[in-house]
A and B are shown apart, each in its own frame.
Chain A
Amino acid sequence: MKYDMSDYPLKLEGDNVPMVRFQNVTKKYGQLTVLDGLNLDVAEGEMVTIIGPSGSGKTTVLRMLMTLETIDSGVIYVDGEPLTHMEKNGRLVRASAAHLRKIRSKIGMCFQHFNLFPHMTALGNCMEGPIQVLGLSKEKAEKRALELLDMVGMAEKRDQHPSRLSGGQQQRVAIARALAMRPKVMLFDEVTSALDPEVISEVTSVIRSLVDQHNLTMLMVTHQIGFAREISDRICFFFAGQIEEQGAPKILLDSPQNDRTQQFLSAVLDAN
């Protein structure tokens, strides 16, 4: 589809450049429009949580930012630079594989089903990216991986393969693995949805400590409204591929203005 690229700046400049910007982003699967002209800015160090009914495009937002999905129109910017596009002769054109790799290095992601590499130990999982991608020496990568495994409380299990770890343990290793790449933006895609209720807190407490200690920009998709309320700077309620309502947790959760937000929240809170 052709669209006019002149509406989109080549670079974001000025005082308040957001860490992430979705500008008029649309995503379609065949006839189905998953995201419809999405505009969303996330400031550096901000923790934004996305909630909404299934099929509302929440996960797609994260997957597009991780470049696991292409976009149909619009531009995504990361740290002021276009991610989905690049500059060529003063115009924005589709990003090349090399450009994607360059910008993608600023983003890390944790998945619902952990996706640890089963043929590597917990330590190996956390060393793989730093060695293969960042070119760290084995010693440096191991040191970094051990620090992070210690931070997520998994240092003792460093020599275990994922098949020997519980879901909560696997997810904590997966967080350490993503952090080992020193991303500026971390994406959490329903990271507690596949976990047994009693181990969810293992993972949420790790994420909570990230919010406290690091100046990471974070985007999280979750169904855990209570957790979202506690750690988010802002919550976005998605409906039918658009942000229906957004605001600080207190305001959005306690006094939602929109009917759909109200319905969704009461349904979710009933279920809990």
Chain B
Amino acid sequence: MPYLDFLTTYSDRFLDGTLITLGQFGLAVLVAIIAALISGLMKMSHSKTVRATATVYIELFRGTSLLVQLYWFYFVLPLFGFTLEKFTAGFVTVGLCYGAYGAELVRGSIQSVPKGQWEAALALNMSPAARMRRIILPQALVTILPPWGNLMVEILKGTALVALISVADLMFETRQINNNTYLSAQAFGTALVIYYIFARFMVTPVMRWLERVMARKIGRM
């Protein structure tokens, strides 16, 4: 079968899969941002218990395989009476996994804000929450964006594993097409290109643009 015929025949399924992948990616990014922010801030707490809790989360999710984590969330948690729908299990696990990596980025970027900024905010008698929200986080954001862009690409690629708990994402559809047609090169080649296009021509440019916007906001341009 010529490649163009192959594409027209299966474009619907590639499209369905791509949309699911994008959904998984978007939601996983959201989960990762929240998890990274919360655990990154917890890591800097004065309370040993709070710090320890964050460390356990980070170690657990960074130290084990994402695939095993997916199986845990989808197959093992129901045994403890906690059932997640597979789509939810997919993005929650991917988000939590990369959120654990993001936590260190959050902590590092916050600590990179000069000490004088904390002191100036304290001298204005700002509350700890206002200091963080109004003064520290906006400046930390500028530092965290470049490494966070890398993490976003990792998250996108990481979502391919949700196919293994039968979420009908791009990878899942591609495998089905391959099973039906045995046109492996065409099927997996197409998936490869789609993932690459998203990473290279969507995620990266958007992050670069954000970096520029934030740099301008902070008056560095």
**Chain A residues within 8 Å of B, Cβ to Cβ:** 66-68, 101, 104-105, 107-109, 111, 113, 115-119, 128-129, 132-133, 161-164, 174, 177-178, 181
Contacts and interface: CB of A to CB of B under 8 A. Distances in A.
Given A115-B117, A178-B123, A128 B134 contact: yes
Interface stretch (B58-66, B90-98, B124-132): B124-132
Given A101-B125, A132-B124, 13 more contacts: A66-B122, A66-B123, A68-B123, A111-B119, A111-B123, A115-B114, A117-B121, A117-B135, A119-B139, A119-B217, A119-B219, A128-B124, A181-B125
A67 B220 CA distance: 31
Contacts of A101: 125, 127
Nearest to B139: A119
Choose among A101, A107, A119 the residue with the greatest number of B CB atoms under 10 Å from its CB.
Answer: A119
Nearest to B123: A109
A67 B123 CA distance: 8
Nearest to A63: B119
Contact of B126 (A113, A129, A178): A129
Contacts of B77: none
A113 B123 CA distance: 14
A16 B94 CA distance: 67
A181 B218 CA distance: 23
B125 A111 contact: no
B116 A133 contact: no
A111 B219 contact: no
Interface residues of B, number: 21
A161 B218 contact: yes
Contact of A117 (B117, B125, B127, B220): B117
Nearest to B117: A115
12 contacts: A66-B119, A66-B123, A67-B122, A115-B117, A117-B117, A119-B219, A132-B124, A133-B125, A162-B219, A163-B219, A174-B120, A181-B124
B138 interface: yes
A161 B116 contact: no
Contacts of B139: 118-119
Contacts of B121: 117
Max chain A Cβ within 10 angstroms of own Cβ: one of B114, B123, B130, B139: B123
Which of A67, A101, A117, A177 neighbours the largest number of chain B CB atoms within 10 Å of its CB? A117
A132 B123 contact: no
Interface in B149-169: none
A269 B3 CA distance: 86
A104 B219 contact: no
Contacts of B114: 115
Contacts of A162: 219
Contacts of B135: 117, 128
Given A111-B116, A117-B135, A132-B134, A163 B123 contact: no
A66 B118 CA distance: 13
A161 B125 CA distance: 22
The 6 A-B pairs of least Cβ separation, nearest first, read A161-B219, A115-B120, A129-B124, A115-B116, A119-B218, A109-B123
Contacts of B125: 101, 104-105, 129, 133, 181
Nearest to B113: A118
A131 to B, nearest CB: 9
A129 B134 CA distance: 10
A68 B116 CA distance: 11
Given A129-B125, A163-B220, A116 B130 contact: no
B110 to A, nearest CB: 14
Tell which of B119, B120, B135 has the most Cβ of chain A within 10 Å: B120
